[in-house]
Structure 1
Amino acid sequence: MPSSPLARLGQSPPLLALLGAVLLWAAWPVHEPPLTLLLFVGWVPYLRLEQVLTRQGARRGRVFANTYLFLFLWNAFTTWWVSYSTLGGGIAAVVLNAALMCLPLMAFRRTKERFGPRVGYLSLPVYWIAFEQLHLHWDLSWPWLTLGNGFANAPEWVQWYEYTGFLGGSVWVLAVNLLIFWAGWGRQGVPFWQFNGPRRWRWVLPMTAIWLPITVSHAINRSFQERGSPLEVVVVQPNIDPYGGKFPDKPGFIPYEQQLTMLLQRTEAAITPQTRLVLWPETCLDETFFEASFAQTPQVARIRQELLARHPGLSLLTGITSVERYSDAVRVTSTARYRDDLGFYDVFNTAAFFADASAAPQLYHKSRLVPGVEKIPPVLSKVLSNIDLGGVVGSYGSQDERTVFAAPAAAPALRLAPLICYESIYGDFVAEYVHNGATLLGLITNDGWWSDSPGFRQHLRYGALRCIETRRDLARSANTGISGFINQRGTISHRTGWWVGAASRATVHLNTEQTFYVRHGELIGRGTQVLAVLGLLGVVVAGVLGRQTRVKN
């Protein structure tokens, strides 16, 4: 039996699961960049855990239990803040996501059993990244812990995301972890690639795999210049407590007219004659507006008279809650609701854009909806309807295309991509806006649901990766949380404080060029999904052939 504590740790699957979860948590934003290096060893304990259980001849149930423990702890340590909105929602997010994450790891183990360690270990990044790609595009989408997001605190390390997107970071993380594991715990003490030289040389490849991409990234960063014409933008943070003032069913509700007055006052104090765009946050005008009559409402009239008409050349992006009624049964959607007095209708989390004082408002409906809050998959509707992750539980409507708001006359280079909250963590989704011609990313959000926690800070940091992938500036307006700006290198500036009313003003650049990632999309994710399907088919075929051989014998 191993005698030293370190040796015992290396033989204990539960302790290895705990160690791996702690390392990944410590590496995750918002911890400082030196700790980001722990991403490169965070998966090594899991690989050792699986190796130990394999050598012990453990049953599949025990392997699954320890795998689930590792993933559950990682989820719990990193996204516990979801429970600030509701304990049930936080538990559901951790428990369900950890269970889903087990799927690619169980596929890896089955492949390793069928085809041996060489093919098995190489299949791990294929299955995992194929799962991350799936997690971007289905009803239970929750890609908060996509491994490539882990570099959000160190954007200077991943300037090459403009070519690969954030899944390139996932490849990097898993590749380095495998190289380190093979160097330290390869079969019979020999690394996976069967290098027979001095032991110290076994670490050359994993160390090179860490520092070479960082070196390339720094070289890209040094030569990169901000692109596009300048534009002065103001982002407003009203700081209205969603638990005690923003919504009419909350204690201490602030009347809507008073909320609008606060917004107008903060905006007036921050803008200059050179300001061409103002952003107000998600659901900023939270009264429910019928889209057919929205432009004629008193609130819109007041915005036009007291802000836009007083400042010619100024445009405004704001969040609203809107309703569209369907008089034609053909147009009724799968998310439509019904009331006797309204008929069929959809409720939307909407971004409204006023190009100037006279133009009709342009509308965009939030498309990537939060599971259990804004979107309830039909198969889970009965379960998730009782879970609140912050906001109003129910299925909101959405739209399929990425709307880019048309350029106003006073700023012809401005083509605005309206991102609403959760949408900003999806790299390929944001890239679609830029592919459609967006020159500026405008993020409106309400991060107050998660209190003073890592949640809103992680959300802020993820925006830096979207800026690198698309080489677009991002202007960020939060109801409360952090508002500010992120440039095309992923550098955050003009930040507001937490839980304070404020407004920030900065000059952004309206880039018109498209990156490789924008032009070609998620090549890594789609490629690994094809390989994953082939791998699983191979496992099934090998299993069938194996059974037939045993029957014949």
Structure 2
Amino acid sequence: MTKILIKYSWILSGILLGLSYPSYHPIPSGILAWIAFVPFLLENQKSNAFKIYLVKASLLCIITMSVEAWWVNLYSFSAFLICVFSQFLFLLAPLCGFYYSKKRFGWRKALLLLPFLWTLLDFLAHQVPHSLQIYMLPYTQANNTWLVQFADLTGMWGISFWVVMMNSLLALALANRKVKNFAYLFIWLLVPLLYSFYVVSLNPKSVLSSSNKKTKVSLIQTNIDSYHQDSLTAQKTFDQIVSLSDSAVKNTQPDLLLLPETAFPLSLFQDSVLLDFTKKSIAAWQTSVAIGYAEYPDISNKAVFRNNALVFTPQLAMFWDSLKIKSSDVKVYQKQYGLPFVELMPYFEKTPTLRGSAMERGKEPLVFDYKNFDNENFKVALSICWEQMHPEKIATLVMQNAEFIALMNNDAWFGKTAGAKQLLSFTRLRAIENRRTIARCSNGGISCFIDPFGKIYGKIPWFTTEYSTQEVLCNTKKSFYTKHPRFFLGCVLVSLILLIFYFELFKKNKTV
């Protein structure tokens, strides 16, 4: 049996790694990533021809992505193929790096180098324009909030390093069967658990400001896909927004109403009727509204659009006419990062995507101010959908002194698949990294609130027309990761260089 498992280790490792991504919440499948590479690493203790190794490693990657992204088939088989083949090399590259380091320094030293190599290659893959981000190894642990609280120090890249090192230590322990190797394994698991226990249970104030200021926010889940091609979509969406907002204001008196991504399928400032109605509604509610809407730089060419958002305050609504405010005077946030192949064509951003349109990217992060009924001031940063996959982007918003994040999504096109669940789990990491509450509003779900420790509350069932009002903790203290998002990566790079130098020196001395 053992021989069979070793012979087909690439199948076992591929399945384990594929199952470890957060598609099956609340099952803690992320734990499988701790051992996923072990069968493959043990099989490759001895030298094999690179061609054979490459075939097995490639099949491992294809199996992983097929198991992890099976749900994309429910949307489109062509989209599934794009997912697999566009991300294939990102997963294969560190495995090839392991082969060459093993050939150069031996299996044991290659195990030690692998976490450093994998983390750096994960980061480089994150920078590539066609990267979809979902296959990043840290996301296997996104729902294990009891483990990954150290992300406020290292970001998601520390999680990548931890997972791969866990595999390396376990492979080494099983190969040597020495007590000290299992002791190292135990310590490696214990350290993040102790840190998580400390910040969550013993001393949460160590990562939070002392003010304990809170604001009340309502999420408006319309259950309408704004991208759906229907002549009545705009009217249905508008009716839902007004009805739900009326109810939320009347029953819960929120300080801020949060709408989904492009909740207004029409341009707010290019449609005078829509703008007038919006001003009157907000003035009557006396509640600020975070609005997402589509805008066309050239009204005659709807192939190029902007994905915009702003916080429309009652003060702005009431004094618009008397102060003769123009749309150009209003601070508006423009989405910077879109979904590759759907919103932005990688490397050719002005070329229409598979949807036949292209998003014009914004350039600046913005933080908005609004007041509650007691005249307290709050700072919120708006972020839009796929931007949640860019950790440094969220860190930049927090560095602009945002006290919490309002995330506006359009997840309806996923349907009731693992896609929406995965995106929700990724959002949890952004909350932990920056120690900021995230109010997450999606048109079809999953809409909820996530506290600075990754805990979900105020969740709305997906694909229901509903609102949820909850208090949001405002934090002004910045995490170490927020202030130094690439510090850990720098440490990893320097350590990798020093280790390679040491191994090379040791190898030369041994030869002499």
Do these two structures clear the TM 0.5 threshold for a shared fold by scoring above it?
A: yes
Match of 1:62 among 52, 60, 63: 52
Q: Deviations over 1:161-217 (max 9, x none)?
A: 1111111111111111100000112xxxx36xxxxxxx4553221122112311221
Cα distance, 1:436 vs. partner? 1.1
How far does residue 479 in structure 1 lie from its aligned partner after superposition? 0.5
Residue 366 of structure 1, aligned match among 335, 343, 360: 335
Structure 1: which 5+ runs fail to align?
192-198, 326-338, 546-553
Kept after mapping to 2: 8 A contact 1:33/1:154: no
Sequence identity, in percent?
Answer: 24
- Give the superposition deviation at 1:118: 4.3
Q: Distance in 2 between matches of 1:503 and 1:370?
A: 27
CA distance in 1: counterparts of 2:296 and 2:349, whole angstroms = 24
CA shift at 1:25, angstroms?
A: 3.0
Aligned to 1:196: none
Q: Contact 1:237–1:280 (CA<8 Å) still a contact in 2?
A: yes
Q: Which amino acid aligns with 1:70?
A: L
Q: Does 1:78 align with 2:78?
A: no
**1:466 and 2:430 aligned:** yes
Counterpart residue identity of residue 146, structure 2: E
- CA deviation profile, 1:314-345 (whole Å, cap 9, x unmatched): 111122111225xxxxxxxxxxxxx9x66x99
Structure 2 residue aligned with 1:210:
189
- 1:393 positional shift: 4.5
Matches of 1:112 and 1:106, distance apart in 2: 10
Match of 1:261 among 239, 242, 246: 239
The one-letter code sitting in structure 2 at the alignment partner of 1:23 is L
Q: What is the TM-score normalised by the length of structure 1?
A: 0.81
Distance 2:9 2:197 in 1: 34
Structure 2 residue 468 is matched with structure 1 residue 475? no
The alpha-carbon distance between structure 1 residues 132 and 309, as it changes in their structure 2 partners (threshold 3 A), is same
* Secondary structure of the structure 1 residue equivalent to 2:146: helix
Q: Distance in 1 between matches of 2:88 and 2:221?
A: 34
1:415 and 2:379 matched:
yes
Aligned-pair distance for 1:299? 1.4
What residue number does 2:324 align with?
none
CA drift of 1:24 comes to 2.1
Aligned match of 2:9: 16
**Residue in structure 2 matched with residue 129 of structure 1 by the alignment:** 119
Deviation at 1:237, TM superposition (A): 0.5
Change in 2 beyond 3 A, CA 1:350/1:534: farther
Q: What amino acid maps onto 1:43 in structure 2?
A: F
SS of 1:430's partner is helix
Query: In 2, distance between residues paired with 1:104 and 1:181?
Result: 17
- Measured in 2, the distance between the counterparts of 1:347 and 1:267 equals 27
| 1:44 equivalent in alignment to 2:38 | yes
TM-score with structure 2 setting the length = 0.87
Q: 1:230 aligns with which of 189, 214, 217?
A: 214
> AA paired with 1:96?
S
Stretch moving more, 349-358 or 451-460: 349-358
Structure 2 residue identity aligned to 1:365: Q
Structure 1 stretch displaced more, 120-129 or 523-532: 523-532
* Aligned-partner Cα distance in 1 for 2:264–2:379: 23
Structure 1 residues 214 and 144 mapped into 2: Cα distance closer, same or farther (>3 Å)?
Answer: same
Residue in 2 that maps onto 1:311: 285
> Do the aligned partners of 2:5 and 2:12 also contact (CA within 8 Å) in 1?
no
SS at match of 1:406: strand
Q: Is the contact between residue 252 and residue 469 of structure 2 (CA under 8 Å) also seen in structure 1?
A: no
Letter in 1 for 2:16: L
Report the equivalent of 2:398. 434
Residue 297 of structure 1, CA deviation: 2.3
| Residues 46/350 of structure 1: CA separation in 2 closer, same or farther (3 Å cut) | farther
8 Å CA contact retained: 2:248, 2:254: no
CA distance in 2, matches of 1:412, 1:346: 39
Aligned to 1:195: none
Tell whether the 8 Å contact from 2:384 to 2:408 is kept in structure 1 after alignment.
yes
Contact 1:233–1:506 (Cα < 8 Å) also in 2? yes
Aligned residues: 488
Task: Give the stretch that moved more between structures: 437-446 or 424-433.
Answer: 424-433
Q: Does 1:159 align with 2:149?
A: yes
**C-alpha deviation, 1:432, in angstroms:** 0.9
Q: How far did 1:396 drift?
A: 1.3
* 8 Å contact from structure 1 (residues 354, 362) kept in 2: no
1:111 and 2:101 are equivalent in the alignment: yes
CA contact (8 A) 1:132 1:525 kept: no
Which amino acid is 1:35 matched to?
A: S
The amino acid of 1:369's aligned partner reads G
Q: How large is the Cα RMSD of the aligned pairs?
A: 3.0
Tell me, yes or no, if the aligned pair for 1:135 and 1:142 is still in contact at 8 Å.
no
- Contact 1:365 1:399 (C-alpha < 8 Å) held by counterparts: yes
Contact 1:416 1:439 in 2 (8 A): yes
**How far, CA to CA, are the matches of 1:370 and 1:400 in structure 2?**
16
Name which of 470, 486, 494 aligns with 1:506. 470
